[in-house]
Structure 1
Amino acid sequence: MKLHIFNPEHDLALAAHLRQFTAPHAGRQLRSDLAFIPALWADQGDLVLVDDIDNARDKVRHLGEHLVEKVEFITKLQLEHLLKTEFIDCVHPWGWDLSLKGELERIGLPEIMLPTDEVLDKVRAISSRQWAAEHLQQDVVLADNFALVKECVMKWGKAVVKAPWSSSGRGVKYVSADEFRTNGEYPAFQRWVSNIIFRQGGVTVEPYYNKVKDFGMEFEMLDGKVHYLGLSLFDTVKNAYTGNLLCSEEEKVEIMKKYISEVALLSARQKIIDIVEPALKENYNGPFGVDMMIAAKDGQLELVSCVELNLRRTMGHVALELAKITKPQSLMRVDFDGNRYHLRVLPGKEAVNES
């Protein structure tokens, strides 16, 4: 029996690196509203931690009636009582961080079931954009002062500046040399960069790419080996995730062939495995994903083989599971209606399933 936890505030918790961390309201709301999601990949009889059991059962029913009885939804209070009499084999969160470990310690999970602080430090380090810049990316500059950031921007004309740890759509700034020429030292941007450097030790600066298509590859690290799970074809708006295409792996490969050869995709996949596997071997078991893009340069399309390394489960992993139980060529979206977040499956523009 495994315990599954959806903690989407994970990236922010990595940045804070505190045993007691309170996520912003939006992060707490997302966790509460979509806490049922692990039912998609959990095994029969597993536990899924939620705030409201009835609400979770109602939401997951929209995705598949069989999911309702597959798992047992459990609240923190119920889990605390359960741990006094029963044993849980292992914990499978969305992502491991010090804040989640502290939360589970307070609930009463024994120390032997949780990663050590030393392991979590290593996971945090590999989760940093600095690690990806040093191991998986090209032409990325690590800057610990504003002068170097400005130098890169003026040299490239346009650049993307990122905090080492941040959640999707946050901690990322697009800046151009024209903005420096117009705004002088560009004080608002300088304050942002200086604040990130003060809190996180530096920023990454990379050339701006003329993006044509977002996509990613999803993996799982298991017993010292990286296993490839599939492609993730997704959309973003202002660097924030908006949705995933749900279809077979063969269909996704055919779509990508419009932009890149299958051989190039296989080569990019193997490169990731060769680099990431030895780094994770002693430190991490679980899912991870690498975001990529196809960009246009000098009239040609090129592969940017790593935009982000997400050392956690991703919405691409969710899409891979949903694709197994939905109609082909559907779209998975996470929408906010002003009050709650919803996981929706849309065929074209009309919703058929909603939770």
Structure 2
Amino acid sequence: MEKKSLYIFNPEHDLAMASGETNYMAPASARQMATDLALLPVWYAEKEAKVLAPSAYNMNFLKEIQALLGDMAQLITEPEVADETEWKFFPWGWDPALRKRLLSLGIDRSQLPSEEYLVSLRDYSHRSHAVDLLPKLQLDEYFCGESFYFKTPAEWKSFVESRTACLLKAPLSGSGKGLNWCKGIFTSFISGWCTRVAALQGGVIGEPIYNKVIDFAMEFHSDGKGKVRFAGYSVFHTGRSGMYAGNELLSDEGFLHKLSGYVPLEELLQLQNRLKEELTNLFGHLYCGYLGVDMMICHFPDGCPIYRVHPCVEINLRMNMGMIARFLTDRYLSSKAGGMFRIAYYPEVGIALKEHERMIAAFPLRVENGRVCDGYLPLVPVTSRSQYRAWIEVTDKVSGMK
């Protein structure tokens, strides 16, 4: 009997992986995000799949969306999961805390990754692997980037004091988390932070600050049997602190056109092929699922060339927002449309619903033949209790993107 697919949105994954603890309890904000955005996988799961989410308001929302855009994956609640004997699981990312959660729902351990596999996955998720990979991707003068893995207090102190500005990173942390921006002075706060991170994760990552023009990523899929394929491009936006703010919705051709305005197209294709080889060697026989390699276009005003690609800022061994944007564009947007996929957090309860209602009125949705042509489309239900929203803003003129 063929196994049924079950998708799970567990955005606390990076934090859980960093802790490594089976009994990890995510902070309240991460748990809220998991609840508010639980239905997000319906946009990338196959139609025959199930998505784990609370019922009630999610079910009603899903019916409304299916009436607009056609069949999608179906909702399933936690008590119903144990009723099915054979599952193939597709979480946002695997970690010991999720494994324990599924065991508590009655899933047989034979259907879940082993504890040994999750230890290996945590090791491969360590940012030191991105540090090691970076020099192998410096293909010619169109590429840039330095990154270091420091294990001793003398090393991280020397690094901070040797430059006017730099960035320190925890080797395991969530997107936009575990970052420490330094300005040439090795303060007691930075010293304490480095000591704590190194005690838990082996060391600290050090990077120079670059004059960034664009954040983008190359997305891949590994089958776990030695084959890694290219899955698309994504261009994303971050806030000042590095927190994720949204993804552009464009075809791969549109992304290549955008990026090739800075570096030659053949350089991007050369990098894509090299990455396939290197990722296959690194993860191809261990990891099964999507992974993203974050990159930057950097500006060197006095250099030649003046724009260069930093080809490996970090590697995410999990599903990611760039892949959601890729699925949204390919499955649900009109071929003439473009726009933005966004996620936002509202600390005060009730504000998310007000903003949702404002956007419904301001950007009326237009759908033709099951494809979004224009307007505002929420991707999850928004209630009076919601503190997170996920949505797309679409325009039928890509050059006039909102």
Separation in 2 of the partners of 1:173 and 1:252?
31
Separation in 2 of the partners of 1:194 and 1:257?
42
Separation in 1 of the partners of 2:207 and 2:19?
24
2:175 corresponding residue in structure 1: 168
1:136 corresponding residue in structure 2: 134
Amino acid at match of 2:40: I
* Shift of residue 155, structure 1, vs aligned partner: 2.6
1:4 corresponding residue in structure 2: 7
DSSP 3-state at the match of 2:56: helix
1:251 corresponding residue in structure 2: 254
1:168-225 Cα shifts (integer Å, max 9, x gaps): 1110112122xx1xxxx41111111111112222111111111111111111112421
1:53 corresponding residue in structure 2: 55
DSSP 3-state at the match of 1:151: helix
Amino acid at match of 1:303: V
- Equivalences for 1:232-311 in 2 at 5 Å? 232-237=234-239, 238-299=241-302, 300-311=306-317
* Shift of residue 303, structure 1, vs aligned partner: 0.7
* Shift of residue 63, structure 1, vs aligned partner: 5.4
Does the alignment pair 1:28 with 2:31? yes
2:171–2:205 CA contact under 8 A, matched in 1: yes
1:351 corresponding residue in structure 2: none
Corresponding residue to 2:161 among 154, 159, 168 = 154
2:341 corresponding residue in structure 1: 332
Does the alignment pair 1:213 with 2:219? no
Indicate how the Cα distance of structure 1 residues 58 and 304 shifts in structure 2: closer, same or farther if over 3 A, else same.
farther
1:126–1:132 CA contact under 8 A, matched in 2: no
Does the alignment pair 1:204 with 2:210? no
Corresponding residue to 2:75 among 37, 59, 73 = 73
Q: Which runs of 5+ in 1 are unaligned?
A: 349-355
1:160–1:174 CA contact under 8 A, matched in 2: yes
Separation in 2 of the partners of 1:186 and 1:49?
45
Separation in 2 of the partners of 1:270 and 1:56?
41
Higher mean C-alpha deviation, range 118-127 or range 138-147 = 138-147
Corresponding residue to 1:314 among 308, 312, 320 = 320
Indicate how the Cα distance of structure 1 residues 62 and 260 shifts in structure 2: closer, same or farther if over 3 A, else same.
farther
* Shift of residue 3, structure 1, vs aligned partner: 0.9
* Shift of residue 229, structure 1, vs aligned partner: 1.1
Separation in 1 of the partners of 2:238 and 2:63?
28
1:61–1:68 CA contact under 8 A, matched in 2: no
* Shift of residue 248, structure 1, vs aligned partner: 1.2
1:61–1:67 CA contact under 8 A, matched in 2: no
DSSP 3-state at the match of 2:237: strand
Separation in 2 of the partners of 1:253 and 1:301?
15
1:37–1:60 CA contact under 8 A, matched in 2: no
Higher mean C-alpha deviation, range 302-311 or range 154-163 = 154-163
Indicate how the Cα distance of structure 1 residues 155 and 74 shifts in structure 2: closer, same or farther if over 3 A, else same.
same
Does the alignment pair 1:119 with 2:117? yes
1:344 corresponding residue in structure 2: 391
Q: Which runs of 5+ in 2 are unaligned?
A: 136-144, 350-386, 396-402
Amino acid at match of 1:94: W
1:136–1:275 CA contact under 8 A, matched in 2: no
1:34-90 Cα shifts (integer Å, max 9, x gaps): 11111122222211111x22322344456553667532211112213x1xxx33241
Amino acid at match of 1:316: G
1:112-140 Cα shifts (integer Å, max 9, x gaps): 21111111111111111111112235632
1:160–1:173 CA contact under 8 A, matched in 2: yes
DSSP 3-state at the match of 2:10: coil
1:224 corresponding residue in structure 2: 226
Indicate how the Cα distance of structure 1 residues 330 and 268 shifts in structure 2: closer, same or farther if over 3 A, else same.
same
DSSP 3-state at the match of 1:234: strand
- For the aligned residue pairs, the C-alpha RMSD in angstroms reads 1.8
Indicate how the Cα distance of structure 1 residues 279 and 65 shifts in structure 2: closer, same or farther if over 3 A, else same.
farther
1:43–1:71 CA contact under 8 A, matched in 2: yes
Separation in 1 of the partners of 2:114 and 2:271?
32
1:20–1:103 CA contact under 8 A, matched in 2: no
DSSP 3-state at the match of 2:162: helix
Separation in 2 of the partners of 1:228 and 1:304?
18
1:40–1:67 CA contact under 8 A, matched in 2: no
Does the alignment pair 1:189 with 2:198? no
1:353 corresponding residue in structure 2: none
Separation in 1 of the partners of 2:244 and 2:61?
21
